[in-house]
Amino acid sequence: MHISDGVLPTSLILGCYAGSMVLAGWSARRISNDELPKVAVLTASFFIASLVHVPLGPTSVHLLIPGLVGALLGPAAFLAIALGLLLQSLLFQFGGLTALGANALMMGIPALCCGFFFRHLRGTTRQRHILAGALAGGLGTVGSALLLALLLVSAGDDFLGVAKLALVAHLPVILIEATVSAFVVSFLYTVKPELLRQQPFIPPQKLNV
C-alpha cells in the first residue's frame, strides 16, 4: 500500500507533505519521555510488518497495522508511522520520498482515528479491550485503503482501475488485521496492561477548560 514516486501530481505531493509535517509535529509534542521505548518498538513493528508483500496484479498487499499502532500509541502513532515509512523508503525503496507525505497521511490519519476510538471504546474489561482492538485493527486498514483509492483517483483516470483493485485486494487484509490486533491487545491486557495506556489527544492543561 505504498504510493510510488511519479504517481501523484506535484500540487498534491506538496499539499500532502505540508499536512503530514503539521501532524508529525503535533504527534511529536504529545510523546512523553516514558513513551519513547514503546514508540520505538511499534515503529520497528510497523516497519517489519510492511516488508512482506503479496503481489496482486499491478498492486500488492501486506500487513499495515495502523489500527494497532494507533490503539497502542494514541497521538504518537502518526510520528511512528511516518518514521517507519521514511526508513522503508530509504532502505528498501518502498514507496518514494516524493510520495512520503501522502503515504504518511494515508496510514497515519486512520491510525490516529483508531487510537481515539480505542481509547473511548476499550472500557475496563478484557472482552471490551479485545473488541476495541479488533475494531481498531480492521478500521485502520479500511481507512488506509479508502485513502489510497482516493489519492490514486486524484492522480488521474488512468489509476481508477488500480484504485478499485486495491480496495478489493485489502478485504481479506481487514480480517487479518482485526484478528492480529485483537490477539495483541488480549495478550498485553494479560501480561502488561500498562502498555495499553495512551497519552491524551488533548494536552493536560487543556482538559479542564
Q: 1 near 107, Cβ under 8 Å? A: yes
Radius of gyration of the chain (CA): 17
- The answer, as to whether pTM is greater than 0.85, is yes
Q: Is residue 147 part of a domain?
A: yes
Q: Could you tell me the residue range of the domain that residue 41 belongs to?
A: 10-198
pLDDT in tens, 3-60: 888 888 899 999 999 999 999 999 999 888 888 999 999 999 998 887 766 665 555 5
What's the distance, Cα to Cα, between the start and end of the chain in Å? 40
Q: Which three cell numbers stand for residue 158?
A: 488512468
Q: Is residue 86 part of a domain?
A: yes
Q: Is residue 113 part of a domain?
A: yes
Alpha-carbon torsion angle 115, 117, 120, 126, nearest 10: -80
Query: How many structural domains comprise the chain?
Result: 1
Q: Is residue 4 part of a domain?
A: no
DSSP assignment string, 15-73? HHHHHHHHHHHHHHTT--GGGHHHHHHHHHHHHHHTT--EEETTEEE----HHHHHHHH
Name the H helices within the chain. Answer: 10-28, 36-49, 66-73, 77-92, 100-121, 126-154, 160-169, 171-191, 204-207
- We report the CATH number of the domain holding residue 67 as 1.10.1760.20
pLDDT in tens, 113-162: 999 999 999 988 999 999 999 999 999 999 998 998 888 888 776 667 77
Residue 156 three-state SS: coil
Q: Which residue has the cell 481508477?
A: 160
